[in-house]
Amino acid sequence: MAVPVIRQSFASPQIRLGEPWKVYLNASDPDGDMQTIVCTLDQPGVGVYPASFTKIPVGAQKNLSGYVYLNTSGTQGLNFIKLVLTIQIQDKAGNYSIPVSFPITFNPRSRQEIPTPGIFQENDLGPIMITLTTEAGGGG
């Protein structure tokens, strides 16, 4: 039984609040049954947000290349706070890939880095359904 493998990944370590944060993934599964991109976000003082589940598009269940994105518009008060996003891919049998993690710091003077051309496709795989907050308890 094969499990999904995230072969390559990339995310800019800093962005400006208000920009969508793109997290690029190349993943594969010999069984061709990758189903869901599972994301969790850990924020100091808030804890781990409830997981986000992004369905993998039809046609990308064996080999996947593209990005998921976190919408940061409408969020304030998070400048210079470091968060950590963790991503795993789940297949139809319930197997998970080894997780990959990405630190992110919101910096009003930063510019979002882009991956080296030719490694990832510019396919929108869908949003990371997590709404950032500045308060403990996930309130808004």
> pTM for this one?
0.92
pLDDT in tens, 34-55: 999 999 999 988 899 999 999 9
pLDDT at 138 over 60: no
pLDDT in tens, 50-102: 999 999 999 999 999 999 999 988 777 778 888 999 999 999 999 999 999 99
Q: How many angstroms separate the CA atoms of 121 and 66, rounded?
A: 5
Which among 62, 7, 65, 68 has a CA at the least distance from the CA of 35? 62
CATH number at residue 15: 2.60.40.10
Does residue 124 fall inside a structural domain? yes
Does residue 133 fall inside a structural domain? no
The one-letter amino acid code at 132 reads: L
Residue 38, pLDDT score: 98
Does residue 137 fall inside a structural domain? no
Counted domains in the chain:
1
C-alpha atoms less than 13 angstroms from C-alpha of 22 in its C-beta half-sphere: 16
Which among 98, 25, 21, 30 has a CA at the least distance from the CA of 56? 25
Does residue 134 fall inside a structural domain? no
DSSP bridge pairs for 127? 69
pLDDT in tens, 4-21: 999 999 999 999 988 999
Q: How far apart are the first and last CA of the chain?
A: 43
Does residue 55 fall inside a structural domain? yes
Q: How many angstroms separate the CA atoms of 118 and 86, rounded?
A: 24
Q: How confident is the model at residue 135 (pLDDT cuts 50, 70, 90)?
A: low
* Six-digit token string for 22: 């793109």
Does residue 95 fall inside a structural domain? yes
